[in-house]
A and B are shown apart, each in its own frame.
Chain A
């Protein structure tokens, strides 16, 4: 991604450089050539509609190339590949708390292997932050109350800066860290170190502890919808709308269950706002998602854009 952004940047620099040179040179040449001299008088010129149209249309055309190229890159940046490994990020004043789906946790550091697509599912506990990795040319604001996502594929081992790019208070400039990009075998070794249960396991325990399982049963239909296979699928709501059951929908349904009631169900679920932390919420979301995953091996195919009838909404996963 970084090289694509740089290529576009170089194109923009070239066009801008030519434009700047053109204008600076014109001003310079004209200012010297027509400088005030005795006996010399200005010649009045009305203007020229043809010229006006020319220098409106040509820049507009050039700008459309900027737009299209920029939009293509943006589209890729905002569309995580289905096979991406998922990492949950919780931002707070002034640190980054990171949890891999394998259960490994870290603070202000994110270890990733080269060659692997990594999707970050991010939320904030307090104010707005922004996850910025200059070396990868990517950035995404991290908001309280919802998920935003970001993805990348690292290609070169090393340590790269992680910055918070949205002003967040006193220690904003200290809210940084490192992205540690490792060879796959080093990464596997790192991942093996330290005790950890997979995130979905934590989620499963919570699901039982919090009593979710009494209504949301996986065998039969309980008082709440059966959550098997719902992730990333369209859901018909009581009010007739259809939404995609993405991370944000699952999250919202836990914190504000009455907002979007699934068709055929009663608004009986209590809110878990203030009961579950952002980290626990992530575990629950990871668990609901895992209950929707097909057996290993076909992973990813399920989420291919082509199979999702309401693809555009899925793109909006914030």
Chain B
């Protein structure tokens, strides 16, 4: 092995007295911090709040749909509930969750930097997110919005009398949070890598966040502009989208999906990065086809911008436009498939442990595969005409956006929890929750594929009685899923006080983040590391002979 400043197999250093967590206890030391790790914690708390808020709305939806009649709430209320569910989950949970929590914490550490390139802008990102979040909460409490998260015009611009402009401003502001985070990551990854950490040695999590950041800074401004146009038409009745004023309603859909399709990759790419880290560690192997996995992230970011009109096959675009977009949509299938095949191949001749993070990684592969394959069905024109705007689509995007993203996020959170907090989570409970999430998720969303194919449209408050059986199954699954999501929340908090003390590298994992203490000191490393090894050099890291520390 080459001589390095920090040898890959060095024994973990004892936890120091001073780390980023105990370096200041005042509220001010948190709210005005520029430490990327503390900002990650701020994000962790705030996205969790929004996750459970969005989840609460999801449960209201599932309860209403338990019976065919609209009996739990009024139609208007139901419309506001699914709108708030979508807006909160998409803009205030799924988009920020992995980059802003895990990415914020890990990107600088993984590349051996002291912080992100612009620590103050990083803090500003969080404040923008919070301002957007408070505004959307204000909208929610003072009447809500009833357009669905898609804001389709002319309904949103000329017909609904709910708080479109306010909700739009909330999304607009949160969008800038996302733009700043993307900017920060790109500059950091370009300029602040440790000596020796060349592009082909970067962890795949960094590659994934890099690709995500590209979409954030290229795509988000478009949705911001679209929101401004909606507000302008709504407030001043300038004809942009409403044909009655001389506008074009399809223009709105083009602009909206130009961002909102790539936004799916903002959500799922970072989770894919997490999964690469998990599989490498728990199979103790270099990721099979490292370069292809890295490049497939960039390919998804690029191709993701070329497929937006596949949301509009029945919207009234021309026959030939539809064919071109259908064709291009399949191009996204290739890099997605490449990733799945490479993860699977990584298992070959590995030494695989079934720790909780790995269970989530398996879960990700399963759900993402099903979400991806149903995505191919939706890209197929003849099928899309029938199933678009039905529960088939709802099931499909939940498999990707909830199944995929949350599996990756929870897997990553378990994996890096000892690094973030210095404590281990209780393994048995964690395995149980991973199982509950997987079973609950499939029970909730698989019946929706069938529901969609037999014709139940989405965003329906009441439905013909023949759809009830599948809806009941789905609601039953949702309650298991809810338990699966609540459980980690409880034991994570519990572990902060009672969890076993984690050493610097409890998983014997590769990666610079495991070479500093748990939790890391404020500036991450006492000495800037010099990297002389490839990512995932598991052959140079001995197996951990003793068992992972268990909670008392």
Contact = CB atoms under 8 A, between A and B. Distances in A.
A307 interface: no
A172 B461 contact: yes
A82 interface: no
B333 A78 contact: no
A274 B155 CA distance: 19
B323 A167 contact: no
B289 A52 contact: yes
Interface residues of A, number: 82
A130 B464 CA distance: 18
B286 A36 contact: no
Interface stretch (A61-69, A105-113, A209-217, A279-287): A61-69
A56 B380 CA distance: 19
B388 A139 contact: yes
A34 B283 contact: yes
B381 A73 contact: yes
A48 interface: yes
Contacts of B15: none
B159 A148 contact: no
B389 A139 contact: yes
A160 B504 CA distance: 64
B344 interface: yes
Contact of B373 (A16, A72, A143): A16
A71 interface: yes
Interface string A25-48: 011001100111100111111111
Contacts of B344: 23, 26-27, 30
B462 A9 contact: no
A134 interface: yes
Nearest to B460: A173
A168 interface: yes
Interface in B286-337: 286, 288-292, 313-316, 318-320, 322-323, 326-327, 330, 333-334, 337
Interface stretch (B205-213, B361-369, B514-522): B361-369
B243 interface: yes
A34 B352 contact: yes
A23 B340 contact: yes
Contacts of B352: 30-31, 34-36
Contact of B383 (A5, A41, A64): A5
A34 B243 contact: no
Contact of A66 (B75, B150, B380): B380
Interface in A92-150: 93, 126-128, 130, 132, 134-135, 137-141, 143-146, 148
- Could you tell me the dominant secondary structure of chain B's interface residues? helix
Contacts of B461: 172-173
A254 interface: no
A24 B318 CA distance: 39
Interface stretch (B44-52, B258-266, B451-459): B451-459
A173 B459 CA distance: 7
B9 interface: no
Contacts of B285: 42-45
B431 interface: no
B109 to A, nearest CB: 24
Contacts, number: 267
A74 B381 contact: yes
Taking residues whose C-beta sits less than 8 angstroms from the other chain, chain B's interface range is 35 or more
A19 interface: yes
Contact of A167 (B313, B341, B455, B459): B459
Contacts of B351: 34-37, 40-42
B390 interface: yes
A130 B323 CA distance: 20
A13 to B, nearest CB: 8
A59 B375 CA distance: 14
A8 B341 CA distance: 25
Contacts of B369: 19-20, 23-24
B349 A34 contact: yes
Interface in B369-383: 369-370, 373-374, 376-377, 379-383
Given A12-B383, A145-B244, A169-B155, A44 B539 contact: yes
Contacts of A318: 316, 318
A163 B333 contact: no
B538 A42 contact: yes
B149 to A, nearest CB: 11
A40 B353 CA distance: 12
Interface of B: 70, 75-76, 79, 146-148, 150, 152, 154-155, 159-160, 242-244, 249-250, 283-286, 288-292, 313-316, 318-320, 322-323, 326-327, 330, 333-334, 337-338, 340-342, 344-345, 347-354, 362, 365-366, 369-370, 373-374, 376-377, 379-386, 388-390, 453-455, 457-464, 538-539, 543
List the 9 shortest-distance A-B pairs measured between CB atoms, nearest first.
Answer: A145-B243, A134-B455, A73-B382, A70-B380, A74-B381, A47-B289, A30-B347, A173-B460, A16-B373
Given A36-B353, A74-B382, 5 more contacts: A35-B353, A42-B539, A52-B342, A143-B315, A172-B75
